[in-house]
Amino acid sequence: MFAKDFISAGTIIERVPMLVFPDSEIQNEDGATTLYHYCFEWGKGTVALALGYGSIYNHSYSPNARYDDLAQRTKIFSAIQDIQPGEEITINYNGDPDDLDPMEFDVL
């Protein structure tokens, strides 16, 4: 996901509804399905898919955006620093932009 226009720090990028479902629905006999890689951990035994662009922001340990729960099934994505046109919008998948806990995948 790349910024089309300048986004100043503190700007809400988008609010997205979340589709919540049992995590068993993203598993098959071989393990996780492709959908697994686009879901947020939600609660015990559940995951959530963010609508809008919410599930396709890439991970970074030095993100320029963050996400927070706005309501029971709504996330808000906002800029935590100025984002220039053409710059990739990234979030820390751990939730906290400063969380350096390792991911389940290789981080470039």
Asked whether the predicted pLDDT for residue 105 surpasses 70, the reply is no
Q: What is the pTM of this model?
A: 0.85
Asked whether the predicted pLDDT for residue 91 surpasses 90, the reply is yes
User: What is the percent of the chain with per-residue pLDDT over 90, rounded to a whole number?
Assistant: 60
Bigger pLDDT: 71 vs 59: 59
User: Is it true that domain 12-91 has CATH number 2.30.30.110?
Assistant: no
Structure tokens at 100: 């350096």
What are the φ/ψ torsions at residue 34 (nearest 5 degrees)?
Answer: -60, -35
Q: Where are the beta strands (DSSP E) in the chain?
A: 12-22, 27-28, 31-32, 39-43, 46-50, 58-59, 65-71, 74-79, 90-91
pLDDT in tens, 73-88: 999 999 999 999 999 9
pLDDT in tens, 42-66: 889 899 999 999 999 999 999 999 9
pLDDT at 82: 98
Structure tokens at 72: 């029971």
